[in-house]
Amino acid sequence: MSTFSDIIYEAKDGVATITINRPEKYNAFRGKTCDELIEALNLAGWDKSVGVIVLTGTGTKAFCTGGDQSAHDGGYDGRGIIGLPVEELQSTIRDMPKPVIARVNGYAIGGGNVLVTCCDLAIASDTAIFGQVGPKVGSVDPGFGTALLSRVVGEKRAREIWFLCRKYSAQEALNMGLINTVVPADQLDAEVDKWCQEILALSPTAISIAKRSFNADTDSIKGIGGLGMQALSLYYSTEEAKEGVQAFLEKRKPDFRSKQ
């Protein structure tokens, strides 16, 4: 029985599914959502009956659109350096000793795209849309969101993603290596299940050793992320950053240049 409010947790036949359940906010996360995600990941991660974790969002509009801008007032509404323990959430995905699959069913934007980046595997519907929006809304995710992304898609592409804030189709995300496969929306669950069953047939310990060895190469990014969040908390107190949040909430174009 799930005791969560912002997420849904279900573990069945070796697969734990964690669903961000805030469709009215396009599955954006607030402080409480991050805390619940961390708790659920730990539940699944250390449950021996679970061999694979699926992370997704409720509905077809969004996988996750990152930080909840309506819970942002010079910082978010939860705990941690910026009021959103996002760097802890990202590290928890990486630290879990089993594969975490992003099931991407719509927008994976901002911190949602970073979650896709941090997941071990990503399977998307052909309607999914990816991208970073930080510099458009007065934010940036300066750790796994930037440095790991460049490992995943390459330096030039990662810089393009952050410096232009464009949106990318599922096919484009596949071409750049951000995701593993794309399927028609009505085949998403069957495809995710197929990948889960293949993983469940393999040695869990061998997979967990492989996961940790993949992580070893990029774990130093965690330190960059901590430092980055300290800088981000200072940035959030500026007029320039506040303009980004206000403009999003007021559905208008931001004017950053006059505020820097």
Interface contacts to ligand 2NE, rule CB under 6 A: 25-26, 28, 65-70, 82, 84, 86, 107, 109-111, 114, 133-134, 137, 139, 141, 145, 248
Residue among 31 and 145 whose Cβ is closer to ligand 2NE: 145
Distance, in Å, from the CA atom of 108 to the CA atom of 132, rounded to the nearest integer, reads 9
Residue among 153 and 207 whose Cβ is closer to ligand 2NE: 153
Distance, in Å, from the CA atom of 2 to the CA atom of 14, rounded to the nearest integer, reads 17
Residue among 9 and 236 whose Cβ is closer to ligand 2NE: 236
Q: In the bound complex, what is the minimum distance in angstroms from residue 27's beta carbon to ligand 2NE?
A: 8
Q: In the bound complex, what is the minimum distance in angstroms from residue 146's beta carbon to ligand 2NE?
A: 10
CB 25 within 8 A of CB 32: no
Q: In the bound complex, what is the minimum distance in angstroms from residue 106's beta carbon to ligand 2NE?
A: 9
**Lookup: tokens for 117:** 């980046």
Residue among 159 and 194 whose Cβ is closer to ligand 2NE: 159
Q: Which residue of this chain has its Cβ atom nearest to ligand 2NE in the complex?
A: 66
Residue among 162 and 248 whose Cβ is closer to ligand 2NE: 248
Q: In the bound complex, what is the minimum distance in angstroms from residue 245's beta carbon to ligand 2NE?
A: 8
Q: In the bound complex, what is the minimum distance in angstroms from residue 239's beta carbon to ligand 2NE?
A: 18
CB 142 within 8 A of CB 130: no
Handedness of CA 154, 63, 30, 12 (dihedral sign): negative
Residue among 57 and 66 whose Cβ is closer to ligand 2NE: 66
Is beta strand 129-131 parallel, antiparallel or unpaired with respect to 168-169? Answer: antiparallel
What one-character DSSP code corresponds to residue 24?
A: G
Q: In the bound complex, what is the minimum distance in angstroms from residue 145's beta carbon to ligand 2NE?
A: 6
Distance, in Å, from the CA atom of 118 to the CA atom of 77, rounded to the nearest integer, reads 23
Helix, strand or coil for residue 248?
Answer: helix
Helix, strand or coil for residue 196?
Answer: helix
